Amino acid sequence: MTIVVMLSCSTEPFSQNSIIESPNAMQRGTGIIDLPPTNEKITLTVFAALDSNHHGIIDDFNKNEFFQELEKRTGVHLEFISPPMEKEQEVYNEMLASGYLADIFTHDGNLYPDGWDAAVEDRIYLNLTPYLDTYLKDYNKARKSNPVLEKQTTTAAGRVVCIHVFYTEPQPPWMGLQVRKDWLDDLGLEIPVTFDDWEKMLTLFKTEKKAYAPLSIGQNGFMSISHALSAGFHAMETLMNVNGKVVYGPITDGWKEYLRLLNKWYRNGLLDPDFMINGAWQVDKSMVINGETGAWNAMYTLISEYERMGNGIEVIPVASPVVKRGEKLHIRREDSFIGHPVTISTKCKYPAVAMQIINYLYTEEGALLSNYGIENDTFVYDSNGKPVVTDKIKNNPKYSMPQAQALYLMPPSKFGGLYDWTRELSAVPEKDLVAFEVWGTADDDYILPDTLCFAGGEAAERASILSAVTTYMNDCTVRFIVGDMRIERDWDNYAQTIKEMGIDRAIEITQKALDLQSE
């Protein structure tokens, strides 16, 4: 991977004032973008990781039909550097250390450790602020359409460094708990509400349905992304915003009680005994369709897929359990309205071209291409004039819908743009859309914004602390659940160790950023 990076990227010296072509200097065009006067084919390198939907489907985004069409329309070739998602940060760090930078970076888990402002000051990424009314005018129009978007896409120093994905409308919680409704019916059980209801249900799943893993949880002992199980104890696995005060969830009393309960369930055989080797956030599909588990964490789009593949099983979404009926929760998968950012590096030879290509995806024509593809191939217009995906996307005989989207359309949050998540809905049975309402019964006000900006070197300091603390916390969480550590004996030492690792400093930095964004 490092060799590919070195061959594909530039290390030329940079001067922001001289490298950006003025609009008047762009002497030829494609109808979509204007290009500088050169006879050579323009190629831009793009760092974009491959996620689980691409595994076994695509190993190069140039095989994706959206990017092929984008090249036809713009006349610019994109050369991709695509590590697997689990290697994204590692390869990103190698690039930073080597000085061989891609022209364009998409950011999922790979973040510059010192923050966006520092990345500009360290001459890693361009400050895009001067080009908001020229090369990025459609992006800027979108970000200014909502004061929240404008604020959350501006750094602490007042810069625009990233080009963010914007959702065309907020997406309700798309992940949460699901259970086997047919098993509930067979056992004469109501939909569980409290943790006591859940314990009764899981016990019967074990004794009557012979489930190997009555409840499937993530490898670190919690439900990543949805936080759906610990939410009932008003705790989650990271920093939280509790009424404007930043706290670290895994050292709260709520997390302690969560671990106490899961240890009990583990000892009683109600959890997957091998949860430590599961994925971090979503159940193994085979466990669902083979009847090995009766409750799990997954996306709403998969309910119908489980039912289709599971030989008559019935699945429903359920709300996070609570300690007492009627209790209001504050943690869930938050509504989505802003997605992963894209940056342009200072080593980019044609930054004006890069900006125009990304900006195109914020136009009506570009957004239609990225979300729906080509008319009469991947989409048609319905009787109301709204684009809807064809069976090539929603009923592909070879690929699931997320896989088909990864192959034929722009994958979500992969290259900027306006993201119309409602394109998924035509493939989702109407009965499954109740998931939004069920999972949305909780508030999401304890979730910190993803777009907090940190001053100076505080971003790196915070990231270093949280990296070490998270590794320790994940390990201890598993050990508390399986009984290698005990709440009564080890909790105080565990919490004190996290304090000594600097969590209070990470809280202080985060609080400052939260207060700034809340002004």
Residue 518 has a pLDDT of 82
Backbone φ and ψ for 296, nearest 5 degrees, come out as -165, 180
Lowest mean pLDDT among 46-50, 136-140, 187-191, 481-485: 46-50
Fold: same for 2-171+337-422 and 175-332+452-518: yes
Rg (CA), the chain: 24
Task: Report whether pLDDT(28) > 80.
Answer: no
Which string of b and e fits 248-278 if b means at least 16 CB within 10 Å?
A: bbbbbebbbbbbbbbbebbeebbbbeebeeb
Q: According to DSSP H, which parts of 409-457 are helical?
A: 434-439
pLDDT at 105 over 90: yes
Mean pLDDT, the chain, as a whole number? 90
pLDDT at 35: 87
Fold annotation for 2-171+337-422: D-Maltodextrin-Binding Protein; domain 2 (3.40.190)
pLDDT given at position 381:
96
Q: 90 or 9: whose pLDDT is higher?
A: 90
The domain 175-332+452-518 having CATH identifier 3.30.565.10: the answer here is: no
Q: Give the start-to-end residue ranges of the domains of the chain.
A: 2-171+337-422, 175-332+452-518
Cα angle for residues 382, 386, 388 (degrees, 5° grid): 70
23 pLDDT band, cuts 50/70/90, is low
Across the range 360-374, mean pLDDT stands at: 97
Mean pLDDT calculated for residue range 420-441: 93
The contacts of residue 210 (CB under 8 Å, 6+ apart) are: none
pLDDT at 27 over 80: no
What is residue 20's predicted lDDT score, i.e. its pLDDT?
63
Please give the pLDDT value at position 39: 79
More confident: 401 or 251: 251
pLDDT for 281 equals 66
> Is residue 339 predicted with pLDDT exceeding 50?
yes
Contact residues for 416 (Cβ-Cβ < 8 A; gap 6+)? 106, 139, 163, 164, 165, 342, 358, 361, 362
CA distance 301 to 433: 9
Q: Which uninterrupted H or E stretch holds 80?
A: strand 77-81
Q: What is the pLDDT of residues 208-252, one digit of tens each?
A: 999 999 999 988 999 988 999 999 999 999 999 999 999 999 999
Output the pLDDT for position 21.
60
Would you say residue 12 has pLDDT above 70? no
- pLDDT tens-digit profile of 117-135? 989 999 999 999 999 999 9
Which residue has tokens 């005990």?
A: 486
Residue 472 is predicted with a pLDDT of: 98
Are the beta carbons of 441 and 188 closer than 8 angstroms?
no
pLDDT mean over 344-373: 97
Higher-pLDDT residue of 152 and 256 is 256
pLDDT band at 181 (very low <50, low <70, confident <90, very high): very high
457 pLDDT above the threshold of 70: yes
- As a whole number of angstroms, the distance between CA 477 and CA 237 comes to 10
Mean pLDDT to the nearest integer, 332-358:
95
The per-residue DSSP string of 90-103 comes to: HHHHHHHHHT-B-S
In the structure, what pLDDT confidence band is assigned to residue 110 with cuts at 50, 70 and 90? low
Beta bridge partners of 297: 177
CA atoms within 13 A on the CB side of 348: 30
User: pLDDT for 262-287, tens place per residue?
Assistant: 999 999 999 999 999 887 667 888 99
Q: Which residue has the higher pLDDT, 352 or 109?
A: 352
Q: Percent of the chain having pLDDT more than 70?
A: 93
